[in-house]
Amino acid sequence: MLTAKQSQVDGIPSNNVYKDTYYVTDSVYSYSDWEFETYSSTAGFGNNDGDYLGCVFDVKNPCEINSISTLIMQRPENKIASTKPGYNFQYWLFKYNKTDAVWIELLSSEFIEVTQAMLDKWITLDLIKDGESEFLEEGQYIAAIQVFHGGGLGAPNSQYRFTIGSDNSHKHSLAKSVYRVITDVNEAWSQNRDMSMIRMNINSIGAPQTADVVLNVDMTLPIANGYFKPASGDYLDVAGTFNGWDGTAHHLTDSNSDGIYTITVPAVATFTKMEYKYRINGNWSTSEFPSGGPNRVYRTSYYNVVNDIYNNGISMGMDLNPLNASIQVYPNPTDGVFTLSVANIQVSDLNILVSNIQGQVVYQNQVKSVLDYQENIDLTQFAKGMYFLRVNNEVMKLLVK
């Protein structure tokens, strides 16, 4: 209900009432109805490939966004200057950062081509979730469509124009319908004169407080060198902070016998640090890093799939291919990029692994049946410091500075 008051006596009381119709659901957030009266496009503002049309949504309570829908429209009076099959588009979700006064990209949909069947219909695309950004907290968000007509920058709008539905039958604030020109270096959003028909599809329940964690661990090396013998009854479990370091009830399984063992740890508190280790036969002396190496550490999120290699790929049994080779690493120290050169006496398989001082694997490669081998390894995306390069049974120190 909207109430307006004034101090003067109303001279025409008959015009005091405005009626409108709104669709209220628990899964669709929209300012428009389902039918268009006119159209929106960026033709009056630049008409470039990559321009955006959007709607600003005020989120008051936590919710989860699943997808965005837009009425992809072809103007009846001018189909040439309208959306045509072969055009492309993509949906985006932005959040307003009050601290920096900028709009930040959160999520996007797939990049899709317009077909004849899409014209004059609401087209819904799922957003590609990352496990966090889809859970919306209180704040302002823009649900937007980025449009591509193939005409490049500043295309003539009489020939190239991507149009979507616009609703004129409802009153709306100009600040709720916006556009952004791709050539604007400030990435500023401006008010649009039409109410673009773009809506968010949501779950009204907010982010979960707990989430399952799927742990996968590669056991192929311990199996190959006989350290882990599932055929003889050996089993694998995991122990950590989530179960009081008692792994007896947390056995991992390998249903397809590919050497990758898995377990789902249920209901772990979100955004907490989880520490853990894998163990063979529930025995700490046959666990990972038995000499007292660091625990594995993982920070939980809403969706968690963790892929590990047992003992970070360092053999705890007898290597199948003891290395008799000349190994060179240069430059060392390095700025992050170095060359590994191996000259074998005989043809051998190579298991190449780089780990940091915490025991976390940052690079791994397996090479089959080589005599002489050389490759460039790039660690520039990782922090500066000491690393360990292992080639089969040989270990070398690397300094990234």
Query: Which stretch of DSSP H or E encloses residue 363?
Result: strand 361-378
Mean pLDDT of the chain: 87
Q: Residue 393's pLDDT is what?
A: 67
Per-residue pLDDT at 238 exceeds 60: yes
> Which of 1-5, 9-13, 149-153, 207-211 shows the highest mean pLDDT?
149-153
More reliable by pLDDT, 163 or 204: 163
Q: Residue 54's pLDDT is what?
A: 96
Question: Distance between CA atoms of 268 and 284, rounded to whole angstroms?
Answer: 23
Q: Residue 227's pLDDT is what?
A: 87
Mean pLDDT value of segment 372-386:
90
What residues have CB less than 8 Å from 348, skipping those under 6 apart? Answer: 321, 323, 324, 325, 369, 370, 392
| pLDDT digit string, tens, across residues 54-75 | 999 999 988 999 999 999 999 9
Q: What are the structure tokens assigned to 88, written together?
A: 């492309």
Nearest to 251 by CA among 237, 239, 241: 237
Q: Residue 253's pLDDT is what?
A: 96
Q: Residue 23's pLDDT is what?
A: 58
Starting from the edge strand earliest in sequence, which strands make up the sheet with 210-218, in order?
A: 260-269, 210-218, 304-309
Task: Kindly report the backbone phi and psi dihedral angles of residue 357, in degrees, each rounded to the nearest multiple of 5, phi listed first.
Answer: -70, -15
Per-residue pLDDT at 285 exceeds 90: no
> Which of 94-103, 323-332, 377-386 shows the highest mean pLDDT?
94-103
| Neighbour tally for 229: CB within 10 Å | 12
Cβ–Cβ < 8 Å for 127, 107: yes
Nearest to 347 by CA among 364, 371, 313: 371
As separate numbers, helices (DSSP H) first and strands (DSSP E) second, the chain gives 1, 26
| pLDDT digit string, tens, across residues 81-135 | 999 999 999 999 999 999 999 999 999 999 999 999 999 999 999 999 888 899 9
Question: Distance between CA atoms of 142 and 145, rounded to whole angstroms?
Answer: 10
Q: Residue 394's pLDDT is what?
A: 76
Q: pLDDT category, 352, cuts 50, 70, 90?
A: confident
Per-residue pLDDT at 140 exceeds 80: yes
Question: Distance between CA atoms of 306 and 212, rounded to whole angstroms?
Answer: 11
Q: Residue 291's pLDDT is what?
A: 61
Task: Kindly report the backbone phi and psi dihedral angles of residue 248, in degrees, each rounded to the nearest multiple of 5, phi listed first.
Answer: -60, -30
Q: Residue 1's pLDDT is what?
A: 44
Three-state secondary structure call for residue 232: helix
Nearest to 197 by CA among 328, 30, 318, 342: 30
**Cα dist from 87 to 68, 116, 134, 240, 337, whole Å:** 18, 10, 27, 52, 42
More reliable by pLDDT, 15 or 294: 294
Does the reported pTM lie above 0.85?
no
Least confidently predicted of 207-211, 280-284, 375-379: 207-211
Mean pLDDT value of segment 46-56:
95
Per-residue pLDDT at 30 exceeds 50: yes
Q: Delineate the domains of the chain, giving CATH numbers in brackets.
A: 19-203 (2.60.120), 210-313 (2.60.40.10), 325-400 (2.60.40.3080)
Mean pLDDT value of segment 188-202:
92
Per-residue pLDDT at 178 exceeds 90: yes
Kindly state the DSSP code that residue 243 receives in the 8-state scheme: G
Per-residue pLDDT at 265 exceeds 90: yes
More reliable by pLDDT, 163 or 314: 163
Q: Residue 20's pLDDT is what?
A: 60
Question: Distance between CA atoms of 179 and 40, rounded to whole angstroms?
Answer: 10
More reliable by pLDDT, 6 or 148: 148
Question: Distance between CA atoms of 332 and 397, rounded to whole angstroms?
Answer: 9
Residues in the chain: 401
Rg (CA), the chain: 29
Mean pLDDT value of segment 293-308:
88
Per-residue pLDDT at 22 exceeds 60: no
Cβ–Cβ < 8 Å for 90, 111: yes
Task: Kindly report the backbone phi and psi dihedral angles of residue 230, in degrees, each rounded to the nearest multiple of 5, phi listed first.
Answer: -60, -30
Q: Residue 216's pLDDT is what?
A: 95
Cβ–Cβ < 8 Å for 240, 274: yes
Per-residue pLDDT at 297 exceeds 50: yes
**Cα dist from 78 to 50, 51, 157, 160, whole Å:** 22, 21, 11, 11
Per-residue pLDDT at 321 exceeds 60: no
